[in-house]
Amino acid sequence: MRCCVGLCEFYIVKFIYTIDPNEAKPVILINKHIGRITNARGEMEDGVMGEQLQRELLELERLGKEGVEIWINSPGGMVSDGWSIYGTIRNSKLHVTGLNIGIAASTAGWIFEACHERIMMDYSIVMMHNPHGDEAGQKEYTKSIATMLAARTGKKNNDVVKLMKATTYMTADEAFKNGFCDIVRESNGVEVIAEAHNMAATADSFWIQGNEILNSILPVKKHKMNQVTNLLNLGDDASEAAIIAEIRKLQSRVNEMEDAEKENEDKLNEYETELAALNKRHEAEMAALKEKYDALKKANDAAEKARNEDDCCNMVEAFVNVGRIKAETKEKWIHTARTLGVAEAKTLLESLPLNIIAPKPLDAAQREGVKTLVTSVDEWREEWEDKMVEKSKR
């Protein structure tokens, strides 16, 4: 029995931030920091806890409430608690009207943007900045928050990132012009402290000023819209805020597509630059290889020429040594070997007669005959060379 009682108590949702859950349209207050923070005294202090507010919203949905109002006057707080609240607002069936009664700063600002209908008092402020704390995950946190704000305002993610980086404050009129709210409600003559529009003021000062005039707020005036909503797949009784929200949702999708296209173009340009660098490096490597090849070929040709010269000289010298040709004709035969090649010149020299018997002294007539014979041999050699040259040309 005790276990059953404990189980029942576990599922009972205690309303902490909801003023009266029995109202047809209950009011929820976010009127202090969000999540658990360390206060000025160094103590841990609970603000509006994301898990608790999440449970209250879901319980109001379970109770059959069609909508709720969230009155916001907060300097912001923990991102994780903000995610819980933002995600629940966007995914529950409740129609959530957000009312900025002072300042919706930092995390409170994008919780305000999550609401289906966003109303700002004419004196109120919204503020956005980069998340603080976890430096390792700051880039991802910033991207996440920018995605949420862009989806609800119709702005491009990059533009939202710039606003966050600059720590941007907006008055109600500026927020309306830039898509950060749907309706600006007049405070009906309530005197507002001048510093409320001073962008140099802190989020905490706006929060305090908002609390001072909280009790002066008049009931929300209902605005009926007679615009055609078929193109947006909305009901005939859709409010102007709902229409604007749908239009901004479509604009956000267009912006996302444009961002994706720009990202693809940047990647394509990056690839083209990389390809050009690779081609340039390839051309340089090819030029270096060709230069190396030419140098090696030149050296090889020089070595081949030197070897051929040595072969010609050695071959002719060998024939001189065996007495087949005279020493004084050596240079002519070397020239012949260069022209015809060593093999052809060697064949030619081997075909010459070799006289290995020492000749007897010759008389004048014999010497004249020998002279004539030598002349004939030289003429025959020159004729042979000419024929070989002609043959090589053919």
End-to-end CA distance of the chain: 120
In this structure, are residues 341 and 307 in contact, taking their beta carbons and an 8 Å threshold? no
- The two tokens of residue 322 are 């065996």
User: CB atoms < 10 A from the CB of 343, how many?
Assistant: 11
Calculate helix-pair angle for 79-91, 50-62, nearest 10 degrees.
10
Q: Which of 145, 56, 160 is nearest to 107 (CA)?
A: 145
106 is catalytic: yes
In this structure, are residues 47 and 36 in contact, taking their beta carbons and an 8 Å threshold? yes
Q: Residue 120 forms beta bridges with which residues? A: 100, 184
Task: Give the Cα separation of 221 and 59 in Å (integer).
Answer: 27
- The 8-class DSSP code of residue 293 comes to H
| Look-up of token digits 């003021």 | 201
Task: Give the Cα separation of 134 and 132 in Å (integer).
Answer: 6
Catalytic residue among 74, 84, 106, 252: 106
Task: Give the Cα separation of 340 and 392 in Å (integer).
Answer: 8
Residues in the chain: 394
Catalytic residue among 33, 84, 116, 129: 129
Cβ-proximal residues to 246 (8 Å cutoff; 6+ apart), any chain: 232, 234
Q: What are φ and ψ of residue 231, in 5° steps?
A: -65, -25
Going by their DSSP bridges, the two strands 117-121 and 183-185 should be labelled as: parallel
Task: Give the Cα separation of 345 and 350 in Å (integer).
Answer: 9
User: CB atoms < 10 A from the CB of 31, how many?
Assistant: 19
Q: What are φ and ψ of residue 75, in 5° steps?
A: -80, 0
Task: Give the Cα separation of 190 and 368 in Å (integer).
Answer: 147
Catalytic residues: 106, 129
